[in-house]
Structure 1
Amino acid sequence: MSWPGCSSSGGRRSPSIRRCSVPVGLVREEPRGRHRFYHLQPALLAEVSQWLHPFEHYWNQRMNALADLLDEENET
C-alpha cells in the first residue's frame, strides 16, 4: 500500500509510522524526552473501517470458497 509522501527510506522495507500515519491523522505522536509514544485515533480508524465494510462481505465469500476448495482437494 502506498500513501502520498510515504516511501521506504534507509534500506527499510516498510515506511515508518511517523512518516505515514501521523500526517494523515491515524495516530498521534507524543514526544517525551528521547522517546516517542504513538496513540491510535479511533475516530479515524472507524472511518476507515466503514469505508472497507462493503468489501468485507466479498472477501469473506472468496476466502470461504478457497477454504472449501482446499478441503475438497485434501479429501481426495
Structure 2
Amino acid sequence: MSAPSPKHDVFQAIADPTRRRLLQLLGDKDMAVTVLSGHFPISRTAVSKHLRILSDAGLVREQKVGRETRYSLQPEPLLELKRWLAYYERFWDNKLTVLRQFVEADDPEPLRPKGPRLVDAGKESGQ
C-alpha cells in the first residue's frame, strides 16, 4: 500500500507569499507559531492555517515540545519544484547566452524591433 497523497501539492503550497516567507524563516531554525506569527501582520490563527497547508504538502513538520508546537522545514518535496523548473532553465540559459554574445561583440548591430515601425498618429495624419 502506498503512502497517501498530500492534500495540497507543493505548487499550491508555495503559491502564497506568506507561505513562501514561512518556509524562508523555517530554513534557519525550528520555530513555534507564536514566534512565526510575530513576523507577519496577520493573526496567529491565519499563520496556523498557512502552516497547516505547508504541513499537508509535506513541506513542514510539527513537533510537540512541552506546551508548544514547533515547526521545521522539510525541503524534500521542493525537489519536485526544482525538477520542474530545471526543464525551463534551458530557455533562460539560451537567452542569456545570446545577450552575452551581443554585449561582448566588437561591433554589435544595433537592436531594431522587427515588424512595422510605429509612427506617432498625429504625424501620420498631417497634424
| More strand per residue | 1
Q: Could you state the TM-score of these two structures normalised by the residue count of structure 1?
A: 0.47
- Greater relative contact order (Cα 8 A, min sep 6): structure 1 or 2? 2
Greater Cα radius of gyration, structure 1 or 2: 2
